[in-house]
Amino acid sequence: MVPISGRCSILILALFLVGQTADVLASGPGEESGIQSRRFSWSLFPILMYDSDIGFGYGGKGTVKNVYRKDESFDLVLFRSSKGEQWYAFSFSVPDAELRQGKAYPAALDLKLEYSKRIRSNFFGIGNDSKDNNFQFTKEFTRIEATLSRAFTPRFVAEFGYRFTAYSVYGYEPEWGTITPLTPGAGESQISLFAARVRWDTRDSQIHPHKGFRCFYAIEWDSPAVGSDWDFVKQRVELSIYRQLLPKHILAARLWWQEVRGQVPFPEMSKIGDSWTARGYKADRFLDRAMCLASVEYRFPLYRKLGGVLFVDAGRVAPALRRLSVGQLHRNGGWGLRYYLANFVVRMDVGISREGQRLFFHFGHVF
């Protein structure tokens, strides 16, 4: 989800200079899993901004860890704007993902509830040659996701999950010639899928890794047999590496391949363009069944908790992985700011491509 994006945005509340954390010592016995109890901690970041597309936005994000001395964490995001943009997300993990990073454990549970309403969505068609347009409509989704995982070793983790998503796409005009009632995913529909994931992960942190390697594979199976309106299989492979060049100077790189087969709505297709892929393009700019993406970031300190980043993204979509080519990639460069709190990272990126400049505000590193 991209909560805030646009060509003209003013972040009023000193976006990367406001935020607070508290760490209070807490005692407690270690768990049998080998994960030692940590301190109680919390992080809070307020949001107050203006965007020409969505109006005045306000809200905040907060995280609380180890309230019950079980290494659990609660995370809440609340955001809305004067023109109707909304984003609400609640997450619960036990043990917390950062506390269990780099440790073997018998079981972990992650739950997420999310609602998003984007009033300035676009549909550009399918393929690399789709044309840019300014026809905008509303896209909403409600998502429930649960994941069980086990770390067989400190580096090898397996996960099994379930995700339900209800989509609502409306406010478009068929005479635009872009999205119509026949477009897969237009109107109301739902997906219901099971997912299996494995990863080899040597990173020293999930929140802000300084070094390490991550190899990730996921497969998702969506079918009417489990309550879906669609029928598809999605596979994803992602490789990322992190190298510390100087103290707090980090070079990070990622390669990502993805393919979807079957009957799939456009919000679930592979894509290039948004705050997680190619940051110089509008969200969902290039859609198809398969995609490849490469990103490189240079992350460096600026002042105390404030950091900067320079990045390059390049990718391409295709009807299938075997038809992907490395020619005519959709490329962008850019810069960004990071504000590092104890329990999450605040992110603002400005991407520049041949189609213009985009600004994205979100939480967490892109990879």
What are 329-339's pLDDT values in tens digits?
A: 999 999 999 99
Assess whether pLDDT exceeds 70 at residue 16: no
Average pLDDT over residues 24-29: 34
pLDDT tier, 13 (very low <50, low <70, confident <90, very high otherwise)? very low
Spatial distance between the Cα atoms of 329 and 309, rounded to a whole number of angstroms: 22
88's enclosing H/E stretch is strand 86-94
DSSP symbols for 128-181: TTPPP----EEEEEEEEEEEEEEESSSSEEEEEEEEEEEEEEE---GGGSSS-T
Average pLDDT over residues 140-157: 98
CB of 278 closer than 8 Å to CB of 285: yes
The pLDDT, as a whole number, for residue 50 is 83
- For residues 273 and 251, give the distance between their C-alpha atoms in angstroms, rounded to a whole number: 22
| Exposed / middle / buried, residue 184 (Cβ in 10 Å: 0-12, 13-18, 19+) | middle
Distance in angstroms (rounded) separating the CA atoms of residues 290 and 206 = 27
pLDDT single digits (tens) 167-194: 999 999 989 999 999 999 999 999 999 9
Torsion of CA 175, 181, 186, 188, to 10 degrees: 130
271-311 pLDDT per residue, tens: 999 999 999 999 999 999 999 999 999 999 999 999 999 99
pLDDT at 224: 98
How many domains does the chain divide into? 1
Query: Domain containing 322: what range?
Result: 4-363
CATH of the domain at 30: 2.40.160.50
Question: Phi, psi at residue 99, to the nearest 5°?
Answer: -70, -30
Cα–Cα distance measured from residue 250 to residue 6, given in angstroms and rounded to the nearest whole number: 28
Rounded to whole angstroms, the Cα distance separating 330 from 275 reads: 14
DSSP letter (8 states) at residue 253: E
| Phi, psi angles (nearest 5°) of residue 29 | -75, 155
What is the pTM assigned to this prediction?
0.89
User: In this predicted model, which residue has the larger pLDDT, 29 or 286?
Assistant: 286
